[in-house]
Structure 1
């Protein structure tokens, strides 16, 4: 075979392998996610919550693959989302004392934040809060992808 043909075959196979690997990384969390809580389950906890806010898609570092939207409620025992998150691996919920909407701001302020819980579902979530966390000490909820240091979404729920 000619060198040009070998190079073309190698390039095309490498491209397919790369696309397949990327699709697998994206799809795996969707395939392995536990069942999400129903809207009714989330709403039953909402009435006991202290704060509410909204995730929106229009933040600086949110994009077509990294976003969240829906109603978020924050209480002393649970944080809920009645909405959707873009699928991805290793999502974490953080509370911060300052609103952030970029990866750079998150990384700069991470040492002042508290990590609350893992997010395992992408349609609605209901995550517990430990008794050591006082949600009134913070004003912003952030969803962050630890594996890829990727900002997903954030929302301010009170003024401090």
Structure 2
């Protein structure tokens, strides 16, 4: 239980509605995480809106809390651990995710969101698929 409660206690506050609105207004794409993916369950899920722009990616919603979450861009939609492992070499790591009630992360310079179609949240420590969505 400590593995799940520590990240919650250490999580930074969710971004403000104003900050999320700014990211949403600047986004080129909008998509949705939903709980009904093949690899999601009651401990590993995301639900809410994702805003994808060249400078930042924002999320307004809820992720199941856990340690060591990573945000990837993928050229292929994946929805479970096996598909993630199969396609990981084609994915681009964007950022760690430490907030479970929304987040805003910077897209590193040199990453072209147009080369990808999917946002994926993955738990690196446990090799667990959390959620994904197609944005184009």
Q: TM-score range by the shorter chain?
A: over 0.9
Separation in 1, partners of 2:22, 2:92: 26
Q: Higher strand proportion, which one?
A: 2
The unaligned stretches of length 5 or more in structure 1 are: 1-22
Give the TM-score taking structure 1 as reference length. 0.84
Structure showing greater Rg? 1
Q: Higher helix proportion, which one?
A: 1
Moved over 3 A (4+): none
> What residue in structure 1 maps to residue 86 of structure 2?
108
Give the TM-score taking structure 2 as reference length. 0.98
- Size of the aligned set, in residue pairs, is 136
Alignment of 1:12-91 (within 5 A): 23-91=1-69
Check the 8 A contact 1:39/1:124 in 2, yes or no: no
Q: Is 1:156 the equivalent of 2:126?
A: no
Q: After TM superposition, give the deviation of residue 40 of structure 1 in Å.
A: 2.4
Q: After TM superposition, give the deviation of residue 45 of structure 1 in Å.
A: 1.6
The unaligned stretches of length 5 or more in structure 2 are: none
Separation in 2, partners of 1:39, 1:150: 29
Root-mean-square deviation (Å): 0.6
Separation in 2, partners of 1:100, 1:136: 17
